[in-house]
């Protein structure tokens, strides 16, 4: 097989659909929706799959969609993913005025590039020359927002987990997938640039409720139990623990007080805190999480208050598959030049997190990043400023990587599978998070 000729056919088909791919990205950008509520975006994905003649499952984890393009022979399955949801950014000029949702992280481009890769692989006839299948997945709720709403979904039995990929794992949407990829935005990067192998931190979330006893703050404070004092002591305890965090674990704890009491002349009896505990590895996160809990409990004990800690399954650290990264890097270099592709695999993990990290510990997964965006991630000034790099080039890079993995008897995919050692099975992964939630 002339693999390069096949890639050129796919590139030509993506170029033929250029305006349509960009229009999809803009349409999603102008109609942002928050996680597990992405009904319009999901409908647009389904409409595009219908136009491509792809059979698909819908309503996975409420709004998720999964389509399969068959190859000429049975073989490994490669997933190309995009995320459906927006982030909360109420100052963004294109935000939804009612919800504050805005595509200030580039997920609109992810969906457009996923669909662009599908157009290239399916309409060019490339799938008929590949030994395995491609699966195209629109996944909900990557952004860790609206936690009270998602907790209500859990209570109502609609989901078990707070994020889309975690729920996809539980539901078995990845059971027939051997490896997965997606491309994330690289805001503020100059010119044409891609970075491959960037790791991310993991985290767990906590909702903390301190309960005290109300009393008149001026006349009878001695009759009360000050939950705000308990919370402040808990936060001081966290700060006292920071010197015990190992540098190599990259631990970050950043709590906020979301409620400090009810009235200034009443001893605070209801105080709320939210926090993340982030880290570069699972052991470090678990250790730091326990220390944070001890500090929070100590604050309550010191003044005789009560504390409830609700553990939220966050995301696990991202581990990009090096073999898949190598294929993607070569394809990116062929499209935008070697000097424009950065190997970030030797750099420390970033402070951000993604539920692609969870998936990467079960199956080989990569999440390169591409330029084409200006401003700051999750901020009011995040915009697409290079449509070619934001929408078209990543679609070509992913489609070409699918070809490398599934061509010539799926030699590349078999190489990936042979070299990969999972951290978890599906069962042990689910048990990890379920045990963690029960811990407090």
DSSP label at residue 243: G
403 shares a domain with 359: yes
CATH number at residue 287: 3.30.70.360
Q: In this predicted model, what pLDDT tens digit does every residue of 246-263 receive, in sequence order?
A: 999 999 999 999 999 999
Question: Would you state the pLDDT for residue 165?
Answer: 98
What pLDDT is recorded for position 239? 97
Q: Could you give the percent of the chain with pLDDT greater than 90?
A: 94
Residue 439 lies in a domain: no
* CA angle centred on 194, ends 191 and 195, rounded to 5°: 135
Compute the distance between CA of residue 112 and CA of residue 49 in angstroms, rounded to an integer: 12
Tens digit of pLDDT for each residue in 38-92? Answer: 999 999 999 999 999 999 999 999 999 999 999 999 999 999 999 999 999 999 9
Say if 180 falls within a structural domain: yes
Query: Tens digit of pLDDT for each residue in 209-238?
Result: 999 999 999 999 999 999 999 999 999 999
> 273 and 419 in one domain?
no
State whether 374 and 425 are in the same domain: yes
Exposed e or buried b per residue across 102-115, where buried means at least 16 C-beta atoms within 10 angstroms of its C-beta: bbbbbbbbbbbbbb
In this structure, the answer to whether residues 343 and 207 fall within a common structural domain is no
Of the CA atoms within 13 Å of residue 401, those in its CB half-sphere come to 36
Per-residue pLDDT of 158-203, as tens digits, reads 999 999 999 999 999 999 999 999 999 999 888 999 999 988 999 9
Hey, which bits of 163-228 come out as E strands? 179-181, 184-185, 194-196, 202-211
* Domain endpoint, select from 260, 285, 315: 315
Mean pLDDT score of the chain: 96
From CA 291, how far away is CA 241, in angstroms rounded?
7
A 10 A CB-CB count for 172 gives 10
Q: What is the pLDDT of residue 349?
A: 74
373 is written with which tokens? 């965006």
pLDDT at 436: 84
pTM of the model: 0.92
- pLDDT band for position 438 (cuts 50, 70, 90): confident
Query: Does a structural domain hold residue 440?
Result: no
Q: How many CA atoms lie within 13 A of 13 on its CB side?
A: 23
Q: How confident is the model at residue 115, as a pLDDT?
A: 98
What pLDDT is recorded for position 347?
82
Instruction: Say if 437 falls within a structural domain.
Output: no
Identify the residue with better confidence: 436 or 31. 31
Tell which residue, 224, 303, 211, 291, has the closest CA to residue 259. 211
Angle in degrees, 0-180, between the axes of helices 393-419 and 322-336, rounded to the nearest 10: 150
- Residue 438 inside a domain? The answer is no
The pLDDT of 332-348, averaged and rounded, is: 93
**Residue 439 above 80 pLDDT?**
no
User: Range of 405's domain?
Assistant: 3-199+318-431
Does some domain include residue 219? yes
- Given a cut of 70, whether residue 395 has pLDDT beyond it is yes
Q: What integer pLDDT is reported at residue 440 of this predicted model?
A: 54
Q: Are 137 and 175 contained in the same domain? A: yes
Same domain for 310 and 228: yes
Same domain, 412 and 424: yes
Residues 332 and 278 in one domain: no
- What is the sign, positive or negative, of the torsion defined by CA atoms of 160, 168, 395, 184? positive
Q: What angle, rounded to 10 degrees, do the helices at 107-123 and 39-52 form?
A: 10
Residue 363: CATH number of its domain = 3.40.630.10
Q: Which helix (H) or strand (E) segment is 90 a member of? A: none
Q: How far is CA 81 from CA 31, 134, 285, 318, in A?
A: 20, 11, 27, 15
Give the E-state strand segments of 140-193 in sequence order.
179-181, 184-185
Q: Render pLDDT for 269-296 as a digit per residue (tens, 0 to 9).
A: 999 999 999 999 999 999 999 999 999 9
- Unique residue bearing structure tokens 């891609």: 194
**In total, how many domains does the chain have?**
2
* Cα 354 to Cα 184: distance, rounded to the nearest angstrom: 10
* Domain final position from 315, 337, 370: 315
Last residue of a domain, one of 294, 315, 336: 315
53 with 146, same domain: the answer is yes
pLDDT band at residue 322 under the 50/70/90 scheme: very high
Are residue 232 and residue 177 in the same domain, yes or no? no
Interior angle at CA 290, CA 287 and CA 292, nearest 5: 110
Contact between 314 and 437 (Cβ < 8 Å): no
The whole-angstrom separation of Cα 186 and Cα 333 is 16
Whether residues 292 and 304 share a domain: the answer is: yes
77's enclosing H/E stretch is: strand 77-83
Both 57 and 92 in a single domain? yes
Q: Per-residue pLDDT for 397 more than 80?
A: yes
């Amino acid at each position: 097989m002339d693999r390069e000729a096949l890639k050129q056919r796919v590139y030509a088909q993506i170029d033929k659909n250029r305006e349509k791919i960009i229009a999809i990205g803009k349409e999603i950008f102008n109609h942002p929706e928050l996680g597990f509520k992405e009904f319009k975006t999901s409908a647009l994905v389904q409409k595009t799959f219908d136009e491509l003649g792809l059979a698909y499952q819908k309503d996975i984890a409420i709004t998720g969609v999964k389509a399969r393009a068959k190859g000429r022979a049975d073989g490994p399955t490669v997933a190309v993913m995009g995320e459906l949801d927006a982030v909360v950014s109420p100052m963004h000029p294109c935000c939804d005025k009612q919800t504050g949702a805005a595509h200030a992280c580039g997920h609109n481009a992810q969906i457009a590039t996923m669909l662009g890769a599908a157009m290239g692989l399916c309409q060019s006839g490339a799938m008929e020359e590949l030994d395995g299948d491609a699966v195209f997945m629109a996944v909900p709720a990557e952004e860790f927002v609206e936690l009270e709403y998602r907790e209500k979904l859990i209570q109502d039995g609609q989901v078990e987990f707070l994020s889309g990929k975690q729920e996809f794992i539980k539901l078995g949407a990845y059971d027939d997938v051997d490896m997965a990829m997606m491309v994330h935005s690289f805001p503020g990067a100059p010119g044409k640039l891609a970075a491959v192998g960037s790791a991310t931190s993991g985290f767990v979330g906590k909702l903390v409720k301190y309960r005290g006893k109300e009393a008149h703050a001026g006349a009878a404070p001695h009759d009360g139990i000050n939950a705000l004092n308990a919370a402040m002591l808990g936060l001081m305890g966290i700060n006292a623990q920071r010197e015990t965090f190992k540098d190599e674990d990259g631990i970050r704890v950043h709590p906020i007080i979301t409620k400090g009491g009810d009235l200034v002349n009443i001893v605070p009896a209801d105080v709320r805190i939210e926090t993340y505990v982030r880290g570069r590895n699972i052991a470090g996160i678990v250790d730091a999480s326990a220390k944070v809990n001890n500090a929070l409990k100590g604050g309550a004990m010191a003044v005789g208050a009560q504390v409830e800690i609700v553990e939220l399954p966050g995301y696990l650290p991202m581990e990009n598959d090096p073999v898949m990264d190598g294929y993607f890097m070569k394809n990116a270099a062929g499209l935008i030049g070697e000097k424009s592709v950065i190997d970030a695999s030797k750099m420390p993990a970033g402070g951000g997190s993604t539920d692609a990290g969870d998936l990467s510990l079960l199956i080989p997964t990569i999440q390169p990043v591409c330029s084409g965006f200006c401003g700051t991630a999750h901020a009011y000034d995040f915009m697409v400023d290079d449509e070619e790099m934001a929408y078209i080039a990543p679609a070509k890079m992913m489609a070409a990587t699918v070809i490398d993995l599934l061509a010539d008897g799926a030699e590349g995919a078999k190489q990936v599978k042979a070299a990969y050692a999972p951290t978890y099975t599906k069962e042990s992964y689910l048990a990890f998070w379920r045990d963690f939630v029960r811990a407090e």
